[in-house]
A and B are shown apart, each in its own frame.
Chain A
Amino acid sequence: MLTKRIIPCLDINNGRTVKGTNFVQLRDAGNPIELAMRYCEEGADELVFLDITATTEKRKTLATLVREIATHINIPFTVGGGINAIEDVSFLLENGADKISVNTSAVNNPELVNQLAANFGTQCIVVAIDTKIINGNWTVVTHGGRNPTSFKAIDWAKEITDRGAGEILLTSMENDGTKTGFAIDITKEISTAVSIPVIASGGAGTMEHFKDVFKMGNADAALAASIFHFREIPIHELKKYLQEQSIPVRL
């Protein structure tokens, strides 16, 4: 039976793992390679690395980091952050990334999703959707939540599925960093409306939150950062708990 996936997310800034609340107030969370290797041992199913650095040297630094991750870890990983073009993706895949994630660049240029899927295959294209409630609607936002768009999250999710995305990484900006639980309603709405897997993100604080997003939110995977980085919830314990709740997990 296909299992539900637990995915730690590492936000990378200048080669270090950082974590903020609602995408601001960064605090240091350690060396990404060491953290990644720890997660492999603890039974993480995949890893996501989001590069939030914004320097000119960025591309080279990121490639070096990706290569080092790929050398050390034996589970799949996704890399995102500032990917705008086919060349960016080739560069990351050549250095060992399994999947890439696009966000703002896809909103600005939806055709990019088609181009990436055609060039690299649907399976390695993750489209990240950041969303928050604006005037009562779950709306797509960009630039770490600062810029609202005119898209409704549900419509955008359907559109990128049609354009060839292989997976959706759905982050609720209402919940991110709050530790009050995932946004069950929008996760369920999108997951039941599209044919591709949905990774729920934003708001994990307890093991029950994971159970809820799998059972009620229909999520295929759940992603979290600080609760794993700072060992508030050990991954192995979380998976044992989920198994007791009759949720299929890899143990």
Chain B
Amino acid sequence: MKVAIIKYNAGNIQSVLFALERIGIQATVTDNTEEIRTADKIIFPGVGEASTAMHYLRERKLDQLIVSLKQPVLGICLGMQLLCSHSEEGDTNCLSVFEKISVKKFISVNNKFKIPQIGWNTVSNLQSKLFTKVAENSYCYFVHSYYAEESKLSIAKTNYIQPYSSALTHNNFYGVQFHPEKSAAVGEQILKNFLDL
């Protein structure tokens, strides 16, 4: 199986590569259009800032490529947020694969909740093949200051300050707010499930 990790100016790509290696998959990190288009599975990772990342993708026409993909695509963290329609981070228009879904900033009163949310939180209301063999309320590792609001595209929910979508799907596109590549055995199962789609 050919797995491509989309290379752009966002961190943590190595972590995804190493996580796939641990489950026996040698992925390619690439921004080459043909290589991405012909892959069986595509991972769109990302840790970074939304407007800078969108600018970079548009400059290289990777934005058009991503929305045209027909094979399973998994957006991780910022990757998932960029698949939504808009992000409050830098007031950024995103790829709109997950239509009419806004990404908003966590707001905390009196530092009661720390921002970014950093650490292990539960995922529930699991409703996709992506979560095969993953128990309700399993723990996943999150690091983020922005969240996707709840919607009918939600396939997992998490609660931090308020409930939000920790995973989304539409057609061949999947997005997870947490980091499966850093979420111990649960994360490995989710990556395996994605590769089995």
Contact = CB atoms under 8 A, between A and B. Distances in A.
Interface of A: 1-5, 40, 45, 70-71, 74-76, 93-96, 98, 120-124, 166-167, 191-197, 220-221, 250
A3 B121 contact: yes
B14 A2 contact: no
B115 A74 contact: no
A76 B179 CA distance: 9
Contact of B18 (A4, A96, A167, A192): A96
Q: Which of A1, A76, A122, A195 has the most CB of B within 10 A?
A: A76
Contacts, number: 93
- Interface SS of B by simple majority: mixed
B193 to A, nearest CB: 16
B interface residue count range (under 10 / 10 to 19 / 20 to 34 / 35 or more): 35 or more
- Interface SS of A by simple majority: loop
B159 to A, nearest CB: 7
Interface of B: 11-12, 14-15, 18-19, 21-22, 47-49, 108, 111, 114-122, 139, 141-145, 159-160, 179, 181-185, 187-188
B185 A74 contact: yes
A45 B120 contact: yes
Contacts of B116: 122-123, 166, 196-197
Contacts of A93: 11-12, 14
Given A123-B143, A194-B111, A250-B139, A71 B21 contact: yes
22 contacts: A1-B122, A1-B159, A2-B120, A2-B121, A2-B160, A5-B120, A40-B184, A45-B119, A74-B19, A75-B184, A76-B143, A76-B179, A94-B14, A96-B15, A122-B116, A123-B47, A166-B116, A166-B118, A197-B114, A197-B119, A220-B118, A250-B120
A99 B102 CA distance: 27
Contact of B114 (A40, A71, A96, A220): A220
